[in-house]
Amino acid sequence: RKEVEQDPGPFNVPEGATVAFNCTYSNSASQSFFWYRQDCRKEPKLLMSVYSSGNEDGRFTAQLNRASQYISLLIRDSKLSDSATYLCVVNRYSGNTGKLIFGQGTTLQVKP
Amino acid sequence: EAGVAQSPRYKIIEKRQSVAFWCNPISGHATLYWYQQILGQGPKLLIQFQNNGVVDDSQLPKDRFSAERLKGVDSTLKIQPAKLEDSAVYLCASSLDPQTSGGWTEQYFGPGTRLTVT
């Protein structure tokens, strides 16, 4: 079983739709959580951190459920420019440093 | 501010040949990472340097992969000899020292080197 699991999709949605991505992680030693965005043939870039209380950044809302080891990302009012692969990432601490573990990514295609 | 630089951007080699990749991190970033990203998968950490010392190389296939960061700045990753399954994008990332920030600071990725082994 992979340490971080995501539905690879693709998710094909029309502009303006709301779409949700889910992610589960298996290692309870994971201490911090993130969503990264990766455009086709580009490098990953940090989209947002994920907190237990839930956090919002414009049209994006991230949520963490530590008890269920579950992370989500909600995108409202999808734009064409949101088309990308969204990577769920956990930071597993070891000693006094961390190691990022990436999921395989969920591909989103927003269509006009 | 200049980002993480990598070269070459693309490389095609035959199996059993050798290849080397170069990375120049963001100025002032003490920590440097090499990741391997196979098509359809997320990046996988190969090796992490703190200045010129290795912090984590547990997933580096040491029989064929090697990496160094001699002066604590630039780094090279070498594969010798290459196998077909090494075809992937090799991403370099850098960050400030995570040990001074509770175990995490944002990692900034370079554009990657796309390796094809035939």
Residue range A91-95: average pLDDT? Answer: 78
Q: Which residue of A has its CA nearest to B3?
A: A43
Nearest to A43 among B48, B103, B109 (CB): B109
CA-to-CA distance for A91 and A110, rounded, in angstroms? Answer: 29
DSSP string across A3-62:
SEEE----EEEETT--EEEEEEE--TTEEEEEEEEE-TTS-EEEEEEE-TT-EEETTEEE
Least confident range of A103-112, B1-10, B96-105? B96-105
Look at A104 and B41 and tell me if their CB atoms are within 8 Å: yes
What is the H or E stretch that residue A106 is in? strand A106-111
B2 has a pLDDT exceeding 90: no
Q: What is the pLDDT of residue A54?
A: 86
Q: Residue A89: its chain B contacts at CB < 8 A?
A: 42
Q: What is the pLDDT of residue A112?
A: 95
Type of residue found at B78: K
Q: What is the pLDDT of residue B61?
A: 96
Q: What is the pLDDT of residue B1?
A: 66
A96 has a pLDDT exceeding 70: no
Distance from CA of B115 to the nearest CA of A (A): 13
Length of chain A, in residues: 112
Which tens digits make up the pLDDT trace of B11-37?
999 999 999 999 999 999 999 999 999
Is B56's Cβ below 8 Å from some Cβ in A?
Answer: yes
Is B75's Cβ below 8 Å from some Cβ in A?
Answer: no
Q: What is the pLDDT of residue B103?
A: 67
Q: Residue A94: its chain B contacts at CB < 8 A?
A: 56
Which tens digits make up the pLDDT trace of A5-59?
998 889 999 999 999 999 999 987 777 899 999 999 999 999 999 988 889 999 9
Q: How many CB pairs under 8 A join A and B?
A: 51
Q: Which residue of A has its CA nearest to B31?
A: A97
Residue percentage of chain A with pLDDT more than 70: 98
Pick among B109, B113, B115, B116 to test the A interface (most A CBs inside 10 A)? B109
Residue range B34-58: average pLDDT? Answer: 94
Residue range B62-90: average pLDDT? Answer: 96
Residue range A63-74: average pLDDT? Answer: 94
Q: What is the pLDDT of residue A46?
A: 95
